[in-house]
């Protein structure tokens, strides 16, 4: 297939690009490189790379010419950055996705796969793992924009028959991630023997999904035709203080684990519990993420930090 991947130089995008290039797909990456280029040299040499912004409509049209699929992963990301830049976050989401849809229409591209987020569940009631049917509760600009785009894309399926797959990622982690997210941040602190900064009580939970599992799920889901919203989750609930303990152990660190108040700007983003069901993913693809947090953290230590 010929595929345009927006955000293809980012953490999830670069790992997916590498996999798809190795499978023989013809890939164009459009990325603003705002957070650097996470593509390795070999992958970079095998793709058509365009440095640019998804808010540029003409660029999106030109970049996607001749493609069969747009994988739209470009986004402003990371709680602190999003909280500091709510308007830009919305713009990139809303205008970028509008441009992806417009480019698909103009270039007769039949499918868009979009990076949504588990953040849209917000404070949704949670007794068991969150399924896609749970009433969502987006409260931040980032989460609202992601939910808006899920619905916007679904409406284009209804009206124009565009195939759309929205992926609700649950705290993806793995090699090549930067310290905007908690796992690489705790690793960095642990490896420098600096205090590991757990926010609040550390009892808040997240469902950490390993990058290779995430990529596998994406590759399987991109073959679907129709309109889908799918969780990509590990179905394992970990509290942040246990995460800190695990990383400290794996990194063989002397760090002290400290409990501090979260920065004020994080308040709207903080949820007490988050764990996702991957039943729908399994029903659709016969696959669910299986790498345990312990295995995933050891792989990061091996790949990223082994001297
Ligand atoms: N977290 C923390 N210390 C930090 C950074 C994050 O305790 O220095 C916690 C944060 O409060 C949240 C979890 O780690 O409960 C995951 O944070 P992240 O920003 O990686 O992703 P989120 O799930 O909030 O989008």
Q: What is the pLDDT of residues 41-74, one digit of tens each?
A: 999 999 999 999 999 999 999 999 999 999 999 9
Residue of 203, 206, 267 to mutate, ligand 1, most atoms within 8 A of C-beta: 206
Q: How are strands ordered across the β-sheet holding 2-6?
A: 48-51, 26-31, 2-6, 69-72, 111-117, 163-169, 227-232
219 exposure class (CB count in 10 Å sphere: 0-12, 13-18, 19+)? middle
Least confidently predicted of 189-198, 199-208, 232-241, 258-267:
258-267
What is the four-CA torsion angle of 23, 284, 147, 219, rounded to 10 degrees? Answer: -10
Q: Would you state the structure tokens that stand for residue 278, as one six-digit string?
A: 């991957």
Distance CA 145, CA 92 (A): 9
Label residue 303 by pLDDT band (50, 70, 90): confident
Atom 10 (ligand 1) nearest CA: 199
Q: Which domains does the chain have, with CATH numbers?
A: 2-173+209-233+276-285 (3.40.50.720), 182-205+237-275+292-304 (3.90.25.10)
**Whether residue 152 lies in the annotated active site:** no
Of 164, 20, 42, the residue nearest 28 (C-alpha): 20
State the alpha helices, DSSP H only, in the chain. Answer: 11-22, 41-45, 57-63, 79-84, 86-106, 141-160, 182-191, 211-221, 240-250, 279-285, 293-300
Label residue 269 by pLDDT band (50, 70, 90): confident
Averaged confidence pLDDT in the chain: 96
Q: Is the CB of 113 under 6 A from ligand 1?
A: no
The CA-atom distances, in angstroms, between 274 and each of 67, 73, 128, 203, 214 are 36, 22, 10, 11, 17
Q: What is the pLDDT of residues 15-50, one digit of tens each?
A: 999 999 999 999 999 999 988 999 999 999 999 999
The one-character DSSP state at 130 is: B
pTM above 0.85? Answer: yes
Instruction: Return the pLDDT at 139.
Output: 86
Residue of 44, 114, 121, 142 marked catalytic: 142
The one-character DSSP state at 71 is: E
Instruction: Return the pLDDT at 307.
Output: 56
- Counting from 1 in the atom list of ligand 1, the atom nearest the Cα of 198 is 7
What is the four-CA torsion angle of 54, 49, 103, 77, rounded to 10 degrees? Answer: -30
3-state SS, residue 99: helix
What is the rounded average pLDDT of the residues 138-158? 95
Q: Is the CB of 204 under 6 A from ligand 1?
A: yes
Q: What is the pLDDT of residues 95-141, one digit of tens each?
A: 999 999 999 999 999 999 999 999 999 988 788 899 999 999 998 88
């Amino acid at each position: 297939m010929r595929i345009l991947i927006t955000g293809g130089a980012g953490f999830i995008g670069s790992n997916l690009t590498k996999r798809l290039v190795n499978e023989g797909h013809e890939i164009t990456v459009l990325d603003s490189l705002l957070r650097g280029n996470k593509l390795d040299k070999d992958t970079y040499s095998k793709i058509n790379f365009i440095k640019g912004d998804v808010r540029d409509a003409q660029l999106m049209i030109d970049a996607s010419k001749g493609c069969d699929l747009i994988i739209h992963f470009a986004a402003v990301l990371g709680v602190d950055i999003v909280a500091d830049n709510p308007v830009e976050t919305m713009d990139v989401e809303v205008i970028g996705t509008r441009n992806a849809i417009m480019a698909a229409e103009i270039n007769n591209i039949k499918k868009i796969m979009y990076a949504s987020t588990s953040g849209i569940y917000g404070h949704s009631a949670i007794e068991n793992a969150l399924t896609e049917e749970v009433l969502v509760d987006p409260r931040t600009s980032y989460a609202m924009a992601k939910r808006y785009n899920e619905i916007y894309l679904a409406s284009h399926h209804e009206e124009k028959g565009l195939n759309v797959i929205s992926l609700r990622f649950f705290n993806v982690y793995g090699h090549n991630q930067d310290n905007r997210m908690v796992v690489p941040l705790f690793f960095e602190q642990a490896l420098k023997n600096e205090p590991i900064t757990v926010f609040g009580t550390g009892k808040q939970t997240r469902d950490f999904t390993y990058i290779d599992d995430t990529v596998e799920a994406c590759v399987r889901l991109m073959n679907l035709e129709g309109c889908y919203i799918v969780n990509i989750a590990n179905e394992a609930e970990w509290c942040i203080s246990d995460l800190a303990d695990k990383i400290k152990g794996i990194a063989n660190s002397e760090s002290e684990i400290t409990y501090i108040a979260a920065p004020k700007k994080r308040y709207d983003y903080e949820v007490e519990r988050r764990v996702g069901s991957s039943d729908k993913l399994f029903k659709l693809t016969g696959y669910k993420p299986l790498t345990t947090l312990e295995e995933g953290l050891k792989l990061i230590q091996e790949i990223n930090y082994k001297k």
